[in-house]
Structure 1
Amino acid sequence: MPISEASSAPRVCGEPMGDADSSKWMPNQNIGRYRAIADECYARAEHARYVLDKEAWLKLAADWNALAEDAAQRRDDG
Structure 2
Amino acid sequence: MVRVPLTEAERARGERLGAVLREARGARSMVEVAAEAGISVETLRKIETGRIPTPAFFTVVAVADAVGLPLEALRGAVPTG
- Greater Rg, structure 1 or structure 2? 1
Work out which structure has the larger RCO, using CA pairs closer than 8 Å and 6 or more positions apart in sequence. 2
Greater strand share, 1 or 2? 1
Greater helix share, 1 or 2? 1
Q: TM-score, normalising length from structure 1? A: 0.37
Q: TM-score, normalising length from structure 2? A: 0.36
